[in-house]
């Protein structure tokens, strides 16, 4: 039987909708595309005779443990995986990605890794050094639900971190930012028509992910686009959504995402991001 080119999108439990957006664009180009959960990927490849030389696997799920190991196994078998398992492993581990960024000349918050039982003593010391700190899980959890800010005035509330469903936490020096930006980068090129931001109006948190109130740049700053492209190249992140702080001292990396829904972003910008992702995936054959 002749092998047929096919793209397989690996989605999260709640990621069916946006994966379908990308799949539709690929199908319109005449290439078959399927959407599966990671645990069903092996069966799908077998049932559809997906040969490694003719199949692109696009992961829209991430994680430094199970997800990385599974995808790495497919890559070793010759499948082209986008983003690469190593990139997914690095970008989904908040401590390692911060260390890597700083090592490669990318401005990023100073960060240390701690066990949950040591958080009180380590946080107390870091507040003396940094004045204000952020405590959060080592991998993303709950859309920022377990991300906390502390200083000497509210240090007694540190006990809230005990509820975090993770044994390892990170402590970061608080970045005094004016705006949080999201730049969509596909094939190491920032999509100028798909740049967004939010600002902390009340409190200190804001979001550029699943936030229906994000704002759209009509003319994004050139420096912001270049900063995002530099991050993408250094992390070898082919399809990525990079969150960047605007500060009085310039741009500072917040985090790199590879598995977010961009439904709000497409609706606000009226720009077909999923089509750009589809076109890039097809260029990988």
Which of 153, 159, 151, 120 is CA-nearest to residue 134? 151
At 88, phi and psi to the nearest 5?
-60, -45
| Range 159-181 average pLDDT | 91
Contact 284, 35 (CB under 8 A): no
More confident residue, 270 or 212: 270
Is there a cis peptide before residue 83, judged by omega within 30 degrees of 0?
yes
| Range 202-218 average pLDDT | 89
Superfamily of domain 176-271: ATP-grasp fold, B domain (3.30.470.20)
| Range 234-252 average pLDDT | 98
Please compute Rg for the chain using Cα positions: 20
Query: Does residue 202 have a pLDDT over 80?
Result: no
Domain boundaries, the chain: 6-90, 111-173, 176-271
Query: What DSSP assignment string belongs to 168-229?
Result: EEEEEEPP-EEEEEEEEEETTEEEEEEEEEE---SSS---SSS-TT-EE-SS--HHHHHHHH
pLDDT (0 to 100) of residue 139: 79
Query: Does residue 141 have a pLDDT over 80?
Result: no
| Confidence band for 143, pLDDT divided at 50, 70 and 90 | low
Say whether domain 6-90 belongs to CATH 3.40.50.20: yes
| Confidence band for 201, pLDDT divided at 50, 70 and 90 | confident
Query: Does residue 29 have a pLDDT over 80?
Result: yes
| Confidence band for 279, pLDDT divided at 50, 70 and 90 | very high
| Confidence band for 122, pLDDT divided at 50, 70 and 90 | very high
**pTM of the full structure:** 0.94
**Lowest-confidence segment of 71-85, 94-108, 159-173 by average pLDDT:** 159-173
Query: Does residue 142 have a pLDDT over 60?
Result: no
pLDDT (0 to 100) of residue 128: 96
CA distance 195 to 241: 10
What dotted CATH number matches 111-173? Answer: 3.30.1490.20
């Amino acid at each position: 039987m002749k092998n047929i080119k096919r793209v397989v999108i690996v989605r999260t439990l709640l990621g069916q909708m946006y994966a379908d957006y990308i799949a539709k664009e690929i199908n319109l180009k005449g290439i078959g595309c399927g959407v599966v959960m990671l645990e069903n990927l092996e069966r799908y490849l077998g049932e559809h005779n997906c040969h490694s030389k003719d199949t692109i696997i696009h992961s829209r799920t991430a994680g430094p443990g199970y997800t990385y190991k599974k995808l790495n196994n497919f890559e070793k078998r010759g499948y082209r995986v986008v983003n690469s398992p190593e990139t997914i492993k690095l970008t989904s581990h908040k401590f390692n990605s911060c260390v890597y960024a700083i090592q490669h000349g990318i401005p990023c918050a100073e960060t240390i890794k701690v066990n949950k039982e040591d958080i009180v003593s380590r946080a107390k010391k870091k507040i003396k050094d940094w004045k204000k700190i952020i405590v959060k899980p080592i991998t993303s959890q709950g859309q920022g639900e377990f991300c906390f800010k502390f200083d000497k005035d509210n240090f007694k509330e540190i006990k809230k971190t005990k509820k975090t469903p993770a044994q390892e936490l990170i402590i970061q020096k608080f970045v005094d930012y004016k705006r949080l930006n999201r730049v969509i980068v596909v094939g190491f090129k920032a999509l100028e028509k798909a740049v967004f931001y939010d600002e902390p109006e009340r409190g200190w948190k804001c979001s550029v992910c699943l936030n229906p109130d994000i704002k759209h740049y009509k003319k994004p700053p050139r420096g912001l686009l270049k900063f995002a492209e530099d991050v993408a190249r250094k992390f070898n992140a082919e399809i990525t959504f990079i969150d960047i702080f605007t500060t009085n001292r310039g741009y500072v990396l917040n985090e790199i995402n590879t598995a977010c829904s961009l439904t709000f972003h497409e609706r606000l910008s009226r720009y077909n991001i999923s089509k750009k992702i589809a076109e890039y995936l097809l260029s990988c054959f």
